[in-house]
A and B are shown apart, each in its own frame.
Chain A
Amino acid sequence: MTHHLKKKLLSNSIEEKDKYVKAVFSLIVENESGVLSRVIGLLSGRGYNIESLTVAPVNKDEKKSRINILTSGTPMVINQIKEQLSRQVPVYHVVNLCEQNSYVARELALIKVVSKGNERTEALNLADAFRAQVVDASIDSLVFELTGKTEKINAFVDLLRPLGLVELSRTGIAAIGRGCRTIY
């Protein structure tokens, strides 16, 4: 446990102890069937919330996958999530990136807009401003691809809602620490 978290845990101020904080966990796990269910089952079984989750193999030779989990809770709960994940047999490493100095987190969204005329032009203008790509188009529909911070995607999506947004597909975040440090 980091000194920072310990100070928060032992703090007498009720506000500090009971305040919800964000956590971004990156896990390196054995790439085997059932491991993802074990991780998700653990979180839901113990009543922790999952805001987003991504998973993909990162080293096929060593059969390792990386799972990124965005969650929140009191400092005590965040610490429990980390320890509970760490003790799982097929889990190699668990790091809460929020405890590190800084990290980069990005997600990808595919957004379908059905509109014509001014609304369609306006959507294309906004896409330009947000640097979103048009990856599919028909006479009355567009599919945008946008990569970026969650907040940026939220903003873009909110702007497109009145302009004919009909369907949305988001990946949840992939995250990595800044600098030369790695999580293993």
Chain B
Amino acid sequence: MTEAMQKDDINASKPKKCNEMTGAEVLLQVLVDQSVDIIFGYPGGAVLPIYDVLFKQKKIRHILTRHEQAAVHAAEAYARSTGKVGVVLVTSGPGATNTVTGLVDALMDSIPIVCISGQVFRNLIGNDAFQEADTVGITRAATKFNYLVKDTQKLAQKLHEAFYIARTGRPGPVLIDIPKDIMIEKAPYVKKSKVEPYPSYKPKVMPDENAVFKAIEAMKKAKRPLFYIGGGIINAGKKASDSFKKLVELTDFPVTSTLMGLGAFPGTDEHSLGMLGMHGTYEANMATHDCDVLIALGTRFDDRVTGNVKHFSPNSLKIHADIDPSQINKIILIDVPIIGDVAKIIELMVQFWEKEGKQSEQKKDLKNWWKQIDEWRSVECLKYNQDKAPGSIVKPQHAIHSLYKAIRKRKLDAYITTEVGQHQMWAAQYYLFDSPNRFMTSGGLGTMGYGLPAAVGTQIAHPDNLVIDVAGEASTMMNIQELATIKQYRLPVKIFILNNHYMGMVRQWQELIHGGRYSESYSESLPDFVKLAESFGIKGLRVKTIDDLDKIIDEMLDEKGSILVDIIVQQEENCFPMIPAGAAHNQMILGPSKK
């Protein structure tokens, strides 16, 4: 054992020799070696040896959520808001099966997670033992990779590999299933630097310069270019966002972003057209439809973005840069594919563009393109009519817009999480993110109940920043138990509920597509959220009318501790603009104030 290792030993007071460590101690030492300081979890029979070692050390802080699904969402938000790997620790059987939704959520949104699950003793596997489940079988399609450790000798290696696989290439969740007897047995410790990367796993990081050059050639000739950016830029780190800003400055091209990409490019920049897709802005969708060169960076042409693929951006040359080769030509045929780390690709684009520069001809073309975009912008697709008369009911758009304005006025560096549904889309439309890693939302899987545990994970990572869960009342109910976690760790999380007594997005589709038959979408028998918060020892406030809104937002932002604000909003408000199923981007429906 080297001196450095002794210093970092999880049990520094009584340093142990490598061969004297138990499997559980090896696990904790791997976490220390991987610079993990926070894990989210829930104990149970099969992981008691690990919890026992956790109890005896101070290097790793364990955050006890009140449900294993919430532990994964908290770890996801921790990862998304910091760029680090999120770590989860759960027990066998129900502990592991409860993580499945969180794991799939992380898989769809490319979030690096290492989930460690306990398993029954090796000699009991396959015997239908108490709290036994085929965890690797169940989570195979829910993870980037998973592994059942059967050999104590391999424990350290497999755990280090898990971190490497989770954070490299296209990031994702990795689950390592550890039988309880392996945690108790003596196990050798292997340092991170001594572990060979998994031999068959070699993600392509360096892009082909010729492909980037081809892209630049097309971009130079473009008359109506458009950047379409996604979460890949955020995953590629702050430097990717920074060089992208530079690229936009150089090219003067407009930018539209997916839900996952919001914040990768400043939403308040004049080049930003906002989000595209089903609930994207009029200008973003019209530009997507009419552009002649579409430059897709770190994104995957999700169906919520493309709508009807036959009519998606029909006349454009398409450039697609992504680290995952399977995303190229999956949905939309690509003319110039570039495979590699999007940060490096953007860097190269900046380099090549600086060398060549834009032609004077293109300046004129771009001027016309921007003129066209300004015309689309003048439609003001996000405008809503809020009745300001005393006693008026708050519109949900107005609640989020007011929240945004209040936060900007105070110049706060805020982190926003959301649940899933109408409020999520309104948050994406009315809250403009200027920095990456500030918006934590369930994009691909659309997991209701994501926001509250995500706020826990975000606040743990950023204890001094403002963290707000923008929520709907139906989603909040799905992981409401996390109020206890918030209370236990005294997290100053703010919960901003837009309460319309409906599963709003379901209701909206039923109104528009199913003849107004609101089958099961009414939020019946809701709790009194203010009293509920109070019962958890959290302050609760209610906004009944427009008169209280700004005052209570201020009160919420002034509050040092956690606070839940229940805002009664207009029940039948719909989220617009909207591209109906099967329609093209230029056939979107605008809100009632535009008809």
Q: How far is the CA of A84 from the CA of B170 in the complex (A)?
A: 13
Q: Which of A42-96 contact B (CB under 8 A)?
A: 42, 45, 76, 79-80, 83-84, 86-87, 89-92
Chain B residues within 8 Å of A41, by CB: 140-141
Given A30-B200, A38-B140, A92-B200, verify A87-B333 contact (CB < 8 Å): no
Given A9-B333, A29-B200, verify A37-B140 contact (CB < 8 Å): yes
Q: How far is the CA of A79 from the CA of B330 in the complex (A)?
A: 8
The answer to whether A83 touches B200, judged by C-beta atoms less than 8 angstroms apart, is no
Per-residue interface assignment for chain B, residues 360 to 403, with 1 indicating a CB less than 8 Å from any chain A CB and 0 otherwise: 00000000000000000000000000000000000000000000
Chain B nearest CB from A50 CB (Å) reads 16
The answer, yes or no, to whether A10 is at the interface (CB within 8 Å) is yes
Q: How many residues of A contact B (CB 8 A)?
A: 23
The answer, yes or no, to whether A139 is at the interface (CB within 8 Å) is no
A-B contact pairs, 25 of them (CB 8 A): A9-B329, A29-B200, A30-B200, A33-B148, A34-B147, A37-B137, A37-B140, A38-B140, A41-B140, A42-B141, A45-B141, A76-B329, A79-B329, A80-B326, A80-B329, A83-B325, A83-B326, A87-B170, A87-B326, A89-B144, A90-B198, A90-B200, A90-B201, A92-B199, A92-B200
Q: Which of B167-216 contact A (CB under 8 A)?
A: 170, 198-201
The answer to whether A10 touches B145, judged by C-beta atoms less than 8 angstroms apart, is no
Q: How many A-B residue pairs have CB under 8 A?
A: 52
The answer, yes or no, to whether B25 is at the interface (CB within 8 Å) is no
Chain A nearest CB from B38 CB (Å) reads 26
Q: How far is the CA of A91 from the CA of B203 in the complex (A)?
A: 12
The answer, yes or no, to whether B590 is at the interface (CB within 8 Å) is no
Chain A interface SS verdict (over half): helix
Given A29-B200, A92-B200, verify A86-B326 contact (CB < 8 Å): yes
Q: How far is the CA of A86 from the CA of B325 in the complex (A)?
A: 9
Chain A residues within 8 Å of B329, by CB: 1, 9, 76, 79-80
Chain B nearest CB from A8 CB (Å) reads 11
Which B residues contact A (CB, under 8 angstroms)? 136-137, 140-141, 144-148, 165, 170, 198-201, 324-326, 328-330, 333, 335
Q: How far is the CA of A100 from the CA of B39 in the complex (A)?
A: 49
Chain B residues within 8 Å of A45, by CB: 141
Q: How far is the CA of A37 from the CA of B170 in the complex (A)?
A: 22
Given A45-B141, A89-B145, verify A80-B200 contact (CB < 8 Å): no
Q: How far is the CA of A9 from the CA of B145 in the complex (A)?
A: 30
The answer to whether B140 touches A89, judged by C-beta atoms less than 8 angstroms apart, is no
Q: How far is the CA of A68 from the CA of B69 in the complex (A)?
A: 38
Chain B residues within 8 Å of A10, by CB: 333, 335
- With both beta carbons as reference points, the residue of chain A lying nearest to B324 in the complex is identified as A87
Chain B nearest CB from A133 CB (Å) reads 38
